[in-house]
Amino acid sequence: MAPVSTLDATHDPKLRSWVDSANLPGCDFPIQNLPLAVFRRKGSGENFRCGAAIGDSVLDLGALDMLSPFGGLGTQALAACAEPSLNRLMALGREAWVALRRGLSQCLREGAPRAMELAAALVPQREVEFTLPARIGNYTDFYASIHHATAVGRLFRPDQPLLPNYKWMPIAYHGRASSIGVSGQEFRRPHGQVMPRGAERPQVAPSARLDFELEVGILIGTGNGLGSPIPIAQAEEHVFGLCLLNDWSARDVQAWEYQPLGPFLAKSFASTISPWVVTLEALAPYRLPWTRPAEDPQPLPYLDCEPLRTRGALDLQLEVALETAAMRAAGAAPQPLARTNFRHSYWAIAQMVAHHTVNGCNLEPGDLFGSGTQSGPTPEQAGSLLELTEGGKRPLRLTGGETRTFLEDGDRVILRGWCERPGCARIGFGEASGTVLAE
Ligand code: MN
């Protein structure tokens, strides 16, 4: 089995598609990307099925399956795509995922013999609606950015910002899967128990410190048996792909409830992911060595291996933007609030997988990990309002004259992500957007 970072003909930056929009500069979905989602025609009542993004269209993999364009393992992989979730494909394993990618790349490249026939399986993206890409059985949220952990720790615990375990293990809590929604999600401002400053008793109130968290979502492909840890050198074999994740957070609820067992109701009211899952194969050209500062503890052996050191990190650019109700009314574009990169993460994906299973915990196809809020080393690279406004003390000034400390009703938050590197195609994640409604 080839390592996940192997490049092949599907990554060739010179490849072009017969779908013209896929060849436009800046397009998130060139033929080198081929992310997967679950969709149907908007308002149609059709069954949801899997699709692959190409340019401004979705290739309907249910319809493609009827044309039997592939042989061998690709056929089996494509048959799994007629389902209303990616779980069956995820369970088939990496060789099937690679066969599907190669088959799609051949079908969609310029000069493909059956292009005319395949064109009938394209649906414009503006005419589709998405559902969650997978049935997510379990959601675990990590805390892998040391810059975020330190900045938040300073606000919640000025005396001890970074707890002693942080540099030894990828910290996480078990999140709530039932309230995860796909991009376009709308939710009411949550109520919760809060302890106002100086008060003697807590009260139940709508959250006044509602925040976003800019995260990378990691979707598990093949699982492991209960009692069988995944060794770090094999960890990425179990990862299907990545998406964008907004882990909405009620900071006032969180501040009062989080000790001693961690976040609970401050997080479980909504989480929003992007519809498109970018496979680990598509991300192979953008891998980077994973490093740890020499003055920090080096990872314990179960969290370290040679492939991690040579290519365990990922050069994935991330951006969060805000569209207020006033901006929307004025037809103004969403305003970017911060930009950072997943390469700054203190812990890598493979380490999250190895640590999660070291006790024998079984992962299952479709399980979701959150990377934790990704903040870079500088203050303007912060992935949450908590950090960008220094705990609400320094309001952000928006272009239309508005200000924000935390989110207001009608605010829409948009996450974006993309990879680019000289000599490689630029590929994007689309977006994950969600809107806060009045309580
Ligand atoms: Mn989070």
Q: How far is the CA of 196 from the centre of ligand 1 (A)?
A: 23
Q: How far is the CA of 271 from the centre of ligand 1 (A)?
A: 9
257 and 127 together in one domain: no
67 and 193 together in one domain: no
295 and 385 together in one domain: yes
Report yes or no on 3 lying in a domain. no
Q: Mean pLDDT throughout 299-314?
A: 97
Indicate which CATH number applies to the domain containing 111: 2.30.30.230
State the pLDDT at residue 3.
56
DSSP state of 347: S
Q: How far is the CA of 55 from the centre of ligand 1 (A)?
A: 31
The residue out of 131, 155, 184 marking a domain boundary is: 131
| Whether residue 59 has pLDDT greater than 60 | yes
Q: Which residues contact 84 (CB under 8 A, 6 or more apart)?
A: 38, 47, 48, 49, 131
Q: How far is the CA of 17 from the centre of ligand 1 (A)?
A: 37
Report yes or no on 4 lying in a domain. no
124 and 230 together in one domain: no
107 and 147 together in one domain: no
25 and 53 together in one domain: yes
Active-site residue, from 11, 147, 148, 356: 148
| Whether residue 173 has pLDDT greater than 50 | yes
State the pLDDT at residue 180.
98
pLDDT band at 4 (very low <50, low <70, confident <90, very high): low
98 and 228 together in one domain: no
pTM flag (> 0.75) = yes
355 classed as catalytic:
no
Per-residue model confidence as pLDDT tens digits over 332-374 = 999 999 999 999 999 999 999 999 999 999 999 999 999 999 9
Burial class (CB in 10 A: 0-12, 13-18, 19+), 379: middle
Three-class DSSP labels, 295-346: CCCCCCHHHCCHHHHHHCEECCEEEEEEECHHHHHHCCCCEEEEEEEHHHCC
The residue out of 100, 115, 131 marking a domain boundary is: 131
Q: Mean pLDDT throughout 85-111?
A: 97
Is the Cβ–Cβ distance between 372 and 216 less than 8 Å?
A: no
The overall average pLDDT reported for the chain is: 96
305 and 194 together in one domain: yes
384 and 245 together in one domain: yes
Could you give the residue ranges of the DSSP H alpha helices within 218-305? 251-257
State the pLDDT at residue 174.
97
Cα-trace Rg, the chain: 21
Is the Cβ–Cβ distance between 119 and 58 less than 8 Å?
A: no
| Whether residue 5 has pLDDT greater than 90 | no
Of 402, 385, 429, which Cα lies nearest the Cα of 330?
Answer: 402
State the pLDDT at residue 388.
97
Could you give the residue ranges of the DSSP H alpha helices within 161-305? 251-257
40 and 93 together in one domain: yes
89 and 158 together in one domain: no
Q: How far is the CA of 170 from the centre of ligand 1 (A)?
A: 13
Q: Which residues contact 241 (CB under 8 A, 6 or more apart)?
A: 35, 36, 219, 221, 277, 278, 279, 280, 282, 283
Residue range of the domain that includes 45: 9-131
How many angstroms separate the CA atoms of 278 and 225, rounded?
Answer: 25
pLDDT band at 1 (very low <50, low <70, confident <90, very high): very low
Q: How far is the CA of 212 from the centre of ligand 1 (A)?
A: 9
DSSP bridge pairs for 193:
204
How many angstroms separate the CA atoms of 415 and 437, rounded?
Answer: 18
Per-residue model confidence as pLDDT tens digits over 217-262 = 999 999 999 999 999 999 999 999 999 999 999 999 999 999 899 9
